[in-house]
């Protein structure tokens, strides 16, 4: 889903351009993407959210994606690539955007790198920068199995960030649910998928430069501050 900023950006003079947020399931990509969206007034494009919205509205894409997602496997590259590039072409994204959960395979990375550089309709005028958030395995397991979400996307955690009334969203009062792929069994599969398919994507962007790694095992605001500092370095360096 493409989530638009709803308030005036805190730092409207800084142009972040296209930003990739990379990392294992549960490192906090979604939370950090929302913080960056508020800081810079650029939208978040979350492939997981777009796919879940397609499942909720019963589209053909949603029907083909559901079984794979429920088992912790990836949706085919072609489907995800088209979905992301259409979003980028459809909107006026010259100030930038945050890709959350994409690319997740080397084929997706090749696709987006070429589309940005070679598609004559590409609205992207700045090179991609990549931020990889790192958190250790035990911590991720806790974060994922404790995560509870409301239908509007507000995120809680029964261990680290519980809602005031158990099972009820503090913001809008709706019932909190566990994502079907947040069970321990599916988490294990998602981590295997991450190691075999997505870890090479992180190495691809590390080698290219315009890349920074952030310790995600700190309070949310400190992680956001570290990402913002990294983005400023990446956009001002000559790499
Ligand atoms: P997320 O919300 O980012 O954790 O994604 C949830 C699930 O959606 C993943 O486990 C995959 O099944 C699917 N998915 C999300 N993004 C992608 C992607 N870039 N490529 C393939 N599958 C994806």
Each domain of the chain, given as residue ranges in start order, spans 2-136+188-236
Residue 141 above 80 pLDDT?
yes
The confidence score (pLDDT) of residue 218 equals 94
The confidence score (pLDDT) of residue 93 equals 79
Alpha carbon separation from 174 to 10, 93, 142, 152, 237 (Å, rounded): 29, 32, 23, 9, 45
Annotated catalytic residue, options 52, 95, 143, 190? 190
143 is catalytic: no
| Mean pLDDT (the chain, rounded) | 91
How far apart are alpha carbons 130 and 98 in whole angstroms? 10
Residue 20 above 60 pLDDT?
yes
Annotated catalytic residue, options 29, 52, 95, 148? 29
Beta bridge partners of residue 89, listed in sequence order: none
Is 3.40.50.300 the CATH number for 2-136+188-236?
yes
How far apart are alpha carbons 112 and 74 in whole angstroms? 17
For atom 14 of ligand 1, which residue has the closest CA?
48
Q: Which one of 40-44, 70-74, 194-198 scores highest in mean pLDDT? A: 194-198
Task: Give me Rg for the CA atoms of the chain.
Answer: 17
- Whole-model pTM: value is 0.88
For atom 12 of ligand 1, which residue has the closest CA?
69
29 is catalytic: yes
Looking at the chain, the whole-number percentage of residues with pLDDT higher than 70 is 94
239 is catalytic: no
CB 55 within 8 Å of CB 62: yes
The confidence score (pLDDT) of residue 19 equals 96
Residue matched to tokens 């912790």: 72
């Amino acid at each position: 889903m493409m989530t638009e900023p709803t308030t005036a950006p805190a730092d409207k003079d800084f142009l972040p351009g296209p930003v990739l947020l990379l990392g294992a399931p549960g490192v906090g990509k979604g939370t950090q993407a929302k913080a960056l969206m508020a800081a810079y007034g650029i939208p978040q494009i979350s492939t997981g959210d777009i796919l879940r919205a397609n499942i909720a509205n019963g589209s053909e894409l949603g029907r083909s994606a559901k079984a794979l997602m429920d088992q912790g496997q990836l949706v085919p590259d072609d489907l995800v690539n088209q979905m992301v590039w259409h979003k980028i072409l459809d909107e006026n994204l010259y100030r930038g955007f945050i890709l959350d959960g994409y690319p997740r395979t080397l084929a997706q990375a090749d696709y987006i790198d070429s589309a940005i550089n070679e598609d004559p309709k590409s609205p992207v005028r700045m090179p991609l920068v990549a931020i990889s958030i790192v958190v250790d395995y035990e911590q991720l397991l806790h974060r994922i199995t404790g995560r509870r979400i409301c239908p509007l996307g507000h995120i809680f955690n029964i261990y680290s960030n519980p809602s005031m009334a158990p099972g009820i969203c503090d913001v809008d009062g709706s019932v909190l649910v566990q994502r079907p792929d947040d069970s321990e069994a599916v988490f294990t599969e998602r981590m295997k998928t991450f190691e075999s398919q997505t870890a090479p994507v992180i190495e691809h962007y590390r080698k290219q430069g315009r890349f920074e790694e952030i310790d995600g095992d700190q309070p949310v605001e400190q992680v956001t501050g570290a990402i913002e500092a990294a983005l400023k370095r990446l956009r001002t360096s000559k790499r």
